[in-house]
Amino acid sequence: MQIDLVALIVDEYDPAIAFFTEVLGFDLIEDSPSVTTDGRPKRWVVVRPPGAQTGLLLARADGDEQSAAVGHQTAGRVGFFLQVDDFQATFARMTAAGVTFVRPPRTEAYGQVAVFLDIAGNRWDLLGPA
């Protein structure tokens, strides 16, 4: 048993795809046309870090309630955790790509960590080995 996907609500598909693939280096696994339950067009968009089993379903906000959740899916807490082998190189690459870090790198018992924002404003931990 495993968690395959986690939905991440975004404003628009293409800028989110660009952020996750070009900035974070995720793989675009699928981008297929689909429809809502009432027949409106949407897309099934899945991104995943290279070699990872769990991916993100990028879901475009549909309606006021979902639009209000963009960037606030975890109520301001860190809700997503990106584990990398080379923390310093990844941090430098992300910084050069314009990623906003809201907390500078620090060392904890579990490893190196820095908090960054995704394209929607959700908080992520960038995690590396101690």
Query: CA Rg, the chain, in Å?
Result: 15
Domain ranges of the chain: 1-70, 73-130
Q: What is the CATH number of domain 1-70?
A: 3.10.180.10
Q: Which CATH superfamily is domain 73-130 in?
A: 2,3-Dihydroxybiphenyl 1,2-Dioxygenase, domain 1 (3.10.180.10)
The reply to whether 73-130 shares the fold of 1-70 is yes
| Neighbouring C-alpha atoms within 13 Å toward the C-beta of 71 | 8
Long-range CB contacts (< 8 A, 24+ apart) of 35-39?
A: 36/62
> Which candidate, 123, 117, 116, 119, places its Cα nearest to that of 12?
119
52-100: per-residue pLDDT in tens? 999 999 999 999 999 999 999 999 999 999 999 999 999 999 999 999 9
User: pTM (2 decimals)?
Assistant: 0.93
